[in-house]
């Protein structure tokens, strides 16, 4: 049986354009460049030059309309772009020209193609139905953007037909309503730009109202877009929709509020209409309708609250921005009953206005409900809207940073009646603090009345008022610091004026009683303000070249306020003698101010320094410092000797120099950054006028012991209350007091025997005192109680009375004895604390003296008088056990020897004193000491060698003898502990100096 082998049927060949397939595939690519390139390649096939076949054109249109219904990748984006441009090419030629490849085709067939390819059936799945709806939306947008409906030869019915398709889709699928409204809104704006005619606008508005979409956010946007057009004849608005045909009419604010938060509660009588109005879907993106609404309100916010009307009513009142914001946003989106989604929209609107609107408009958005919601959401991290609230708060600070003048409305909003003075504390953010740091010089003029109002009437009880006033004072100091750290020379006058306003505002409520302050300003608050004034002046002194001008103007203004009484009654109680001293000081201060001219050079520097010293001393008198009054008399003497050009003998100059040093030391000893900076500035101005007596006053302090005994040698301890000068405050910003904690003092290793023995001796004495005090306390306590210590005679307890039979009189006597015992114990503890405080005071005082000496060597290093500091500094290095003092002393000596090089070596008239210094330095080098001491001895010795050689080359032989004697003692004496580096430094100098000496 033969097998049957039928022949296989051949498959017909189909011509497939592979390149075209690739183009369509690339149209759905997620890469923008690939999509645009594919669209360009496709369109090149249908240009008039390519002369496409009608069949190819129809296939391309069909393929593109179908592609709009695809949810694959970015197909809708790519296909809609290609479709828009293809329609423009195919139907966009001028009237009378042949349409390329479209014989028998018109625009209506393109709409037919859109409709037929995007229809839905009941058999489709939910996803397929959504794809077709999106396809219709994108297809309609492509036709509108191509502008083919507005060609002269295109029937008007095509426009109305497309409108019907779009509005039908918006009603059918509320979640697409916003997108549908947007493409109509865009078309109306395009019609206005191209001036295509009012018939298109009239029909769009009629279709909008016919589909019950006028009172929706999208409907309002479309209506406003039509209102902005200027056509002739004018646009005909459907009647009876809005009051005065304006959605933003003042009569429509209630319905506008419901519409913009998409509430379905309006017009409940018309259930059919109500169904269409609610989109049914919340979108975290802010609806586009807010843009044209806000733009319209911005344009009228400058004072134009009237818009053109119709008929007998010439003008219709339009909503002001504030009315709109209050009704629609604050009472609508931010209402207490609003959902989190609506409030989220509210935050988006807030940030939009904040970034777009002018300062005047943006300052109106800090309304009551918004501020309540903002603070509530910021306060707790796990609340739903915390992140968007933080973003809103940061946007406030960003606007202020970009436009410093916005600080005034921002701070009024955050800290005013609708916000809280302690906004940062409530919300746990630092928005107000950052805004305050960005305040401009011009904004401070507006802000100061606001801040002053918060000081005068903080609207709180006494305790809360004090807290709020403290916050305001902190902010004012922050502003001063920000001004001074970012100061430029070109705005110095404006800067000085702004800083003076701040300080004088604090001074008004520090030194004067105000009847308007409710509740009255307490003494503690006045003390706080006083500290803020001094801290602000400290900032000024630290950051400005001539701080004396501001200090002078401040005390002068305080004096003027005192004389006029405009700021209230002065609380400063001065005796007649003090008032006379202050009056005389102001006279001298005015003379100094006239002398301080920039062209006077050194004279100006001295005048500026004395003016600063005078100003701050007067301020100290106002602060109640009793010593400041006596300082004024001493300053008068300094002025007479240094600036008045009166002839004075050497003795008077010595007295003036010594008096000035004593005054500066008095200020430097105070625990205050301000007085430290001031003393340094003034000392720098008068450093060249320092006499040997004045210098010795400084060096004597370094020689004192760092103990209670050393303190008693330097200070008069009669007035114990002076130690409490400067009010304490827990807040580090409330004071410029500088504290040095003695517990943090680091002991230097390898100190000299004498220093170690002295320190150990003090510790042993203190331990013995503690043990003795404890034993005495136990004995007194036992005697009072009629008992004894357990480690004493235990057998004595057998015959002792347990006190069980004590009467009332005995108990009273026992109480009196116990009181005496514990008082004695307290006195012992107080003595121990005094010793600790005294040590800290001496360390602080020596630090301040070293600061002044460092300034002196920088200013006057070539002055032979500066050589007198060498030996006292070396002795301090050896004796001190405080690491901070050792390091600073070594730094001063190192800086001094570094500056004295070449021609800058001091030139002496007589070298006798220098020889004595050199021997003293070698004696110091032979003492047991730390590394810094040994290195400083070597540096000091070589400096003195240079001074002697510069004075006389023949001094070399004597210098060699001194070094040889020191070397001899190193070899033979057990008491000599000179370091090897002392001689190696000497040998290095000899090598470098031999050529010069031989010449």
| Percent over 70 (pLDDT), the chain | 79
Which has more confidence, 723 or 176?
A: 176
Angle CA 340–341–344, to nearest 5: 85
DSSP 8-state symbol, 308: E
pLDDT at 800 over 60: no
Q: How far apart are CA 340 and CA 635, in angstroms?
A: 69
- pLDDT category of residue 314 using cuts at 50, 70 and 90: very low
pLDDT at 312 over 60: no
pLDDT at 730: 40
What are the residues facing 308 on neighbouring strands? 315
pLDDT at 724 over 50: no
pLDDT at 765 over 60: no
Q: What is the mean pLDDT of residues 868-897?
A: 93
pLDDT at 720: 41
pLDDT at 775: 60
Question: Cβ(897)–Cβ(943) under 8 Å?
Answer: yes
Q: What is the pLDDT of residues 145-176, one digit of tens each?
A: 999 999 888 899 999 999 999 999 999 999 99
* 697 backbone dihedrals φ, ψ, rounded to 5°: -65, -35
Q: Of 49-53, 803-807, 958-962, give the range with the top mean pLDDT.
A: 958-962
CA distances from 288 to 189, 274, 300, 886, 915 (A): 14, 21, 20, 71, 91
DSSP 8-state symbol, 520: P
Question: Cβ(915)–Cβ(888) under 8 Å?
Answer: no
* 915 three-state secondary structure: helix
Q: How far apart are CA 279 and CA 217, in angstroms?
A: 10
pLDDT at 152: 86
Q: How far apart are CA 19 and CA 24, in angstroms?
A: 9
Nearest Cα to 67, choosing from 37, 35, 91, 99?
35
Convert 678-700 to b/e letters by CB count within 10 Å (16 or more is b): bbbbbbbbbbebbbeebbebbbe
Nearest Cα to 474, choosing from 738, 677, 732, 678?
732
pLDDT at 233: 83
- pLDDT category of residue 609 using cuts at 50, 70 and 90: confident
Inter-axis angle of helices 602-622 and 626-642, to 10 degrees?
A: 160
Q: How far apart are CA 553 and CA 557, in angstroms?
A: 6
pLDDT at 925: 94
- pLDDT category of residue 744 using cuts at 50, 70 and 90: very low
Cα 495 to the chain's mean position, in Å?
Answer: 18
263: phi > 0 → left, psi -120 to 50 → alpha, else beta; which? beta
* 307 backbone dihedrals φ, ψ, rounded to 5°: -125, 155
pLDDT at 100: 57
Which pair of tokens denotes residue 502? 């701040």
Q: How far apart are CA 135 and CA 123, in angstroms?
A: 18
Q: Of 48-52, 387-391, 462-466, give the range with the top mean pLDDT.
A: 387-391
Question: Cβ(831)–Cβ(769) under 8 Å?
Answer: no
pLDDT at 772: 58
Neighbouring residues of 774: CB distance < 8 A, sequence distance ≥ 6: none
- pLDDT category of residue 302 using cuts at 50, 70 and 90: low
pLDDT at 738 over 60: no
pLDDT at 680 over 60: yes
Which pair of tokens denotes residue 362? 């943006």
Instruction: Of 46-55, 610-619, 694-703, give the lowest mean pLDDT range.
Output: 46-55
- pLDDT category of residue 306 using cuts at 50, 70 and 90: very low
- pLDDT category of residue 647 using cuts at 50, 70 and 90: low
Alpha helices, H only, 804-907:
808-860, 870-879, 883-899
Angle CA 276–281–285, to nearest 5: 120
Angle CA 715–719–721, to nearest 5: 115
Q: What is the mean pLDDT of residues 423-437?
A: 93
pLDDT at 673: 82
pLDDT at 741: 42
pLDDT at 187: 94
Q: How far apart are CA 401 and CA 805, in angstroms?
A: 81
Angle CA 168–173–175, to nearest 5: 130
Q: What is the mean pLDDT of residues 216-229?
A: 94
Cα 592 to the chain's mean position, in Å?
Answer: 38
Neighbours of 230 (CB within 10 A): 8
CA distances from 998 to 942, 954, 961, 990 (A): 19, 11, 19, 12
pLDDT at 777: 55
pLDDT at 808: 63
- pLDDT category of residue 745 using cuts at 50, 70 and 90: very low
- pLDDT category of residue 726 using cuts at 50, 70 and 90: very low
pLDDT at 783: 61
Neighbouring residues of 706: CB distance < 8 A, sequence distance ≥ 6: 839, 842, 843, 846, 880, 881, 882
- pLDDT category of residue 31 using cuts at 50, 70 and 90: very high
Q: What is the pLDDT of residues 521-578, one digit of tens each?
A: 999 999 999 999 999 998 888 887 778 888 999 999 999 998 888 888 888 888 888 8
Mean pLDDT of the chain: 82
CA distances from 530 to 436, 622, 729, 737 (A): 21, 10, 12, 12
pLDDT at 46 over 70: yes
Neighbours of 489 (CB within 10 A): 7
Nearest Cα to 873, choosing from 756, 703, 749?
703
Instruction: Of 123-132, 596-605, 945-954, give the lowest mean pLDDT range.
Output: 596-605
Based on the number of CB atoms within 10 Å of its own CB, is 627 exposed (0-12), middle (13-18) or buried (19 or more)? middle
Q: What is the mean pLDDT of residues 349-359?
A: 96
pTM given for the model? 0.76
Instruction: Of 104-113, 462-471, 609-618, give the lowest mean pLDDT range.
Output: 104-113
| Beta strands 315-317 and 306-308, pairing class | antiparallel
Q: What is the mean pLDDT of residues 939-952?
A: 94
Question: Cβ(701)–Cβ(869) under 8 Å?
Answer: no
Question: Cβ(436)–Cβ(447) under 8 Å?
Answer: no
Tell me the chain's radius of gyration from C-alpha atoms: 45
- pLDDT category of residue 447 using cuts at 50, 70 and 90: very high
Instruction: Of 216-225, 259-268, 926-935, give the lowest mean pLDDT range.
Output: 259-268
Q: What is the mean pLDDT of residues 705-730?
A: 56
Neighbouring residues of 738: CB distance < 8 A, sequence distance ≥ 6: 671, 672, 673, 676, 844
| Percent over 90 (pLDDT), the chain | 50
Instruction: Of 52-61, 356-365, 503-512, 821-830, give the lowest mean pLDDT range.
Output: 821-830
Question: Cβ(784)–Cβ(771) under 8 Å?
Answer: no
pLDDT at 882 over 60: yes
pLDDT at 721: 37
By residue count, the chain amounts to 999
pLDDT at 307 over 50: no
pLDDT at 719 over 50: no
pLDDT at 942 over 70: yes
Which has more confidence, 168 or 773?
A: 168
pLDDT at 443 over 50: yes
Widest CA span in the chain: 153
Q: What is the mean pLDDT of residues 347-374?
A: 96
Which pair of tokens denotes residue 643? 């600036």
DSSP 8-state symbol, 106: -
pLDDT at 825: 62
* 569 backbone dihedrals φ, ψ, rounded to 5°: -75, 135
Which has more confidence, 489 or 67?
A: 67
What are the residues facing 569 on neighbouring strands? 513
Q: How far apart are CA 188 and CA 799, in angstroms?
A: 116
pLDDT at 420: 93
Q: Which residue matches tokens 């807040």?
A: 731
Question: Cβ(538)–Cβ(672) under 8 Å?
Answer: yes
* 747 backbone dihedrals φ, ψ, rounded to 5°: -85, 135
Q: How far apart are CA 297 and CA 26, in angstroms?
A: 44
Q: How far apart are CA 329 and CA 337, in angstroms?
A: 13
Question: Cβ(533)–Cβ(499) under 8 Å?
Answer: no
Q: How far apart are CA 455 and CA 473, in angstroms?
A: 9
Which has more confidence, 281 or 452?
A: 452
């Amino acid at each position: 049986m033969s097998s049957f082998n039928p022949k296989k049927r051949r498959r017909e060949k189909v011509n497939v354009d592979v390149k075209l397939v690739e183009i369509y595939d690339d149209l759905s690519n997620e890469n923008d460049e690939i999509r645009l390139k594919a669209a360009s390649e496709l369109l090149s096939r249908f240009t008039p030059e390519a002369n496409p076949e009608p069949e190819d054109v129809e296939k391309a249109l069909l393929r593109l309309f179908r592609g709009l219904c695809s949810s694959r990748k970015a197909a809708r984006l790519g296909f809609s772009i290609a479709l828009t441009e293809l329609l423009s090419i195919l139907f966009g030629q001028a009237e009378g020209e042949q349409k390329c490849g479209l014989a028998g085709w018109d625009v209506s067939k393109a709409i037919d193609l859109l409709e037929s390819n995007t229809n839905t059936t009941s058999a489709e799945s939910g996803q397929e139905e959504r794809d077709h709806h999106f396809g219709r939306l994108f297809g309609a947008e492509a036709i509108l953007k191509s502008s083919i409906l507005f060609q002269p030869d295109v029937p008007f019915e095509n426009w109305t037909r497309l409108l019907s398709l779009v509005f039908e889709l918006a009603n059918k699928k509320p979640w697409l309503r916003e997108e549908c409204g947007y493409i109509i809104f865009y078309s109306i704006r395009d019609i206005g730009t191209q001036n295509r005619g009012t018939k298109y606008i009239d029909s769009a508005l009629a279709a909008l109202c016919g589909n019950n979409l006028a009172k929706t956010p999208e409907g309002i946007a479309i209506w406003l877009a039509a209102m902005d057009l200027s056509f002739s004849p004018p646009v005909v608005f459907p009647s009876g929709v809005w009051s005065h045909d304006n959605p933003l009419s003042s009569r429509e604010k209630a319905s506008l509020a419901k519409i913009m938060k998409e509430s379905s509660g309006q017009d409940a009588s018309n259930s059919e209409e109500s169904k269409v109005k609610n989109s049914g879907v919340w979108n975290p993106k802010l609806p586009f309708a807010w843009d044209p609404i806000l733009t319209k309100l911005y344009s009228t916010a400058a004072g134009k609250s009237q818009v053109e009307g119709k008929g007998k009513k010439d003008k219709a009142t339009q909503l002001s921005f504030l009315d709109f914001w209050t009704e629609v946003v604050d009472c609508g989106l931010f209402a207490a009953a609003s959902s989190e989604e609506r409030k989220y929209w509210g935050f988006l609107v807030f940030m939009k206005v904040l970034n777009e609107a002018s300062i005047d408009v943006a300052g109106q958005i800090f309304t009551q409900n918004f501020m309540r919601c903002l603070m509530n959401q910021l306060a707790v991290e796990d609340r739903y809207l915390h992140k968007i609230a933080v973003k809103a708060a940061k946007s406030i600070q960003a606007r202020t940073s970009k436009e410093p003048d916005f600080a005034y409305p921002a701070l009024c909003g955050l800290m005013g009646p609708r916000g809280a003075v302690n906004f940062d504390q409530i919300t746990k953010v630092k928005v107000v603090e950052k805004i305050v740091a960005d305040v401009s010089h011009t904004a401070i003029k507006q802000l100061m009345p606001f801040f002053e109002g918060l000081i005068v009437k903080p609207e709180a009880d006494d305790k809360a008022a004090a807290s709020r006033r403290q916050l305001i004072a902190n902010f004012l100091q922050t502003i001063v610091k920000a001004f001074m750290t970012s100061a430029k020379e070109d705005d110095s006058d404006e800067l000085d004026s702004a800083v003076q306003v701040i300080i004088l505002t604090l001074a008004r409520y520090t030194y004067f009683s105000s009847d308007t302050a409710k509740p009255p300003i307490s003494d503690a608050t006045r003390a706080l303000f006083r500290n803020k004034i001094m801290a602000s002046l400290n900032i000024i002194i630290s950051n400005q070249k001539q701080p004396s001008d501001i200090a002078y103007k401040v005390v002068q203004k305080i004096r003027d306020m005192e004389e006029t009484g405009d700021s209230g009654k002065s609380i400063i109680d001065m005796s007649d003698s003090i008032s006379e001293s202050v009056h005389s000081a102001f006279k001298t201060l005015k003379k100094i101010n006239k002398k301080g001219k920039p062209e006077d050079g050194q004279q100006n520097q001295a005048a500026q320094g004395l003016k600063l010293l005078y100003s701050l001393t007067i301020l100290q008198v106002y602060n109640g410092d009793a010593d400041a009054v006596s300082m004024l008399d001493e300053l008068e003497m300094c002025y007479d000797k240094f600036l008045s050009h009166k002839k004075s003998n050497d003795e008077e100059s010595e007295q003036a120099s010594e008096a000035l040093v004593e005054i500066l030391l008095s200020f430097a000893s105070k625990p205050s950054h301000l007085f430290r900076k001031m003393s340094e500035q003034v000392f720098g101005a008068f450093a060249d006028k320092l006499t040997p007596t004045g210098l010795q006053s400084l060096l004597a302090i370094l020689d004192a012991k760092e103990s209670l005994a050393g303190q008693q040698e330097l200070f008069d301890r009669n007035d114990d209350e002076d130690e409490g000068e400067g009010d304490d405050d827990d807040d580090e910003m409330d004071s410029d007091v500088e504290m040095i904690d003695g517990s943090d003092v680091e002991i230097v290793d390898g100190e000299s025997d004498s220093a170690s023995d002295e320190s150990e001796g003090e510790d042993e004495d203190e331990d013995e005192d503690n043990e003795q005090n404890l034993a005495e306390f136990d004995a007194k306590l036992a005697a009072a109680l009629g008992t004894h210590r357990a480690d004493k005679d235990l057998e004595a307890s057998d015959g002792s009375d347990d006190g069980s039979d004590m009467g009332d009189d005995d108990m009273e006597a026992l109480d009196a004895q116990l009181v005496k015992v514990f008082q004695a114990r307290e006195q012992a503890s107080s003595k121990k604390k005094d010793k600790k405080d005294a040590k800290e005071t001496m360390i602080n005082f020596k630090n301040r003296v070293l600061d002044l000496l460092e300034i002196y060597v920088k200013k006057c290093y070539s002055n032979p008088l500066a050589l007198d500091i060498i030996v006292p500094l070396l002795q301090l290095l050896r004796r001190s056990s405080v690491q901070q003092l050792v390091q600073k002393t070594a730094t001063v000596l190192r800086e001094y020897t570094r500056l004295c090089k070449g021609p800058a070596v001091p030139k002496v008239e007589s070298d006798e004193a220098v020889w004595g210094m050199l021997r003293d330095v070698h004696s110091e080098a032979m003492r047991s000491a730390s590394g810094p001491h040994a290195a400083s001895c070597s540096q000091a010795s070589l400096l003195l060698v240079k001074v002697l050689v510069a004075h006389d080359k023949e001094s070399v032989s004597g210098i060699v003898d001194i070094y040889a004697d020191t070397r001899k003692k190193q070899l033979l004496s057990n008491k000599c502990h000179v370091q090897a580096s002392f001689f190696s430094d000497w040998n290095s100098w000899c090598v470098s100096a031999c050529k010069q000496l031989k010449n």
